[in-house]
Structure 1
């Protein structure tokens, strides 16, 4: 940003020197010992400085807001995925054990010696029986059960839950939250915010602001040379302070975001670990009761939940793939059918050529497995990596596909997410 100020300053000096030549051999009228051209040049310099940092603030704020929205969508999407998988697992376990109980009850229910044993087993597999093993698992995965792992994860992701991790991150990026990082940043760039950096520069540059440098010049308290020197120092220092304020604000925002990402991803993984360990403990107890009373065992499927190391976000919706995205030579490849469907394209697969043709509106894309040349509306496009098979899944380069179909694509390195916007 100092380069921009240097250019502005050179323009100012050229104008000032011209004014100096004109004033050099000519006396100004006694009632007007100042030059309008110099006042206008200083005002123009201030206005360019204000415009530059005002626009920079807007760009920074928009970027910070987008990244906040991305993280909300990512963490909420992964929590929902965790919830859906755990709820589906609970239903599976209940169906399995209830069917098993029914068979055992049919076999032993009329035998007096088995009544208490059946009762104990029924209570163990009942998710609503307080302190039972299935109850323990049920309440651990319940997002509304206070102080349990899922409840904690849900609240830490919730920006409206006071003092949560996401609440703190939202406030950091909120220019309307008093004393926040973005609040301070906005006010330093605001010429109407008393004591802000831009406010001070505006007043020093304003010939009508009492006690300001240009006011003193206009009053005849400063010579042109002294005013020029002083304003050069003020504007140079002001530009440096504005840039420092901007850099500090964005460094703080980035640090807060990094801390938020690390905290929430770690908490997500810890929550999954607790789900798994609670489930294992509950099943061990249930199966032990069953084996002790009735002999034999049951085959129980494991709970498999994973979080994609590379994520894809389309219009703030986190996508889920059977085959996770892969990174090859710096390019993200995603399952063909899933990405085309999400982007609203129709596809035709040619088994003989091992090629795919996708159509959306007036756009047609053609790709062939293993070929670095693709076609868009008949035009040959060179790809950095070709479409290819990964674990028997056809994977295509997501950036080429998305941009060819009119979407905007960004990469969020901190969360390892491909962000696609179609609107």
Structure 2
């Protein structure tokens, strides 16, 4: 069910703006963008019909910068490779990135970008060719740089690709006589200046968000709560990998190829199966664990359990899915997984929604820690204390503190604001909390301009 993602997030900003009594200019500011970049990049790639030859291919490349409350701030956000990349999609995610930054206290505005191609269908050599060409184009447009726009891993990109981007950016800057710190890109390999824990940060942050809500809402769950998980890429994989540490039992997983449900399977056996599978999919694992096959999100999210985690792409929780939703808690690991029309259905069913702009902010937080190590630019929230060393323990401690502190504030804010006769949702509280934090900074900037 394809919808207008940008329209969805703008409607939530407008609703939060009305409840929070923000001025019209502020709503318009947050609904617009600082910059949109889009180009049709023609690049010579290996000809599938004759591997010794190349043929030209056109790839849509986009990058969107949302807003920066202060002129000294930069933008930052993920870079993805996926056939469905569109300008509108990246616009919606750029706004979400801003809101995540502001919830945590990061002095950035949001950005998002990607290239519309399927990386599974190109060779490693062609992938490198595409990435280097993208970086060259971005440098020409002045839309990448440690003090301009910081790029980070996203769908189908990883530390290796981030290293390629950083290396090519550094090379081009050095040729121009303008050497830069290694902060144009975050999510780099640890041995090349990356931050320990970045790869698992979003999955770990989901656990910290759940932990915070359980503690502050006194949610009564079993000693070992059960969870179903959609998506087994970086976020889903690491959420599952850490589940035992946080006392969660995964009972079902589904990805783009298929899935399974089993109330008591071996998670280690699942990791072995996925890691040995060329497509790294959970499809077919039901035959190994003797469980039930899962063929759609509707099937997965209808299962009775304590927690449901959409950790794939957008729009997983449609109204149809919401009507048959089987979990008590919706923990949003993906960006924009729930349609606005689904929110009131979940609310009527008593489902606690831990929203994406808070719950999956672990990745952007640790990316900021990495960027701060290179630039020494402090957060606007004095309570956010980046680790002083590249140490996983220090990273996780700072990350947990950020989730605990801001999650508690969101819950308290929600309990003080009503829409009609009932409290607002945690999603709206998260939006209002983010918008409140940077409103005074935007006001100063507006007066100066």
TM-score range, shorter chain: under 0.3
Higher strand share: 2
TM-score w.r.t. structure 2 length?
A: 0.20
Higher helix share: 1
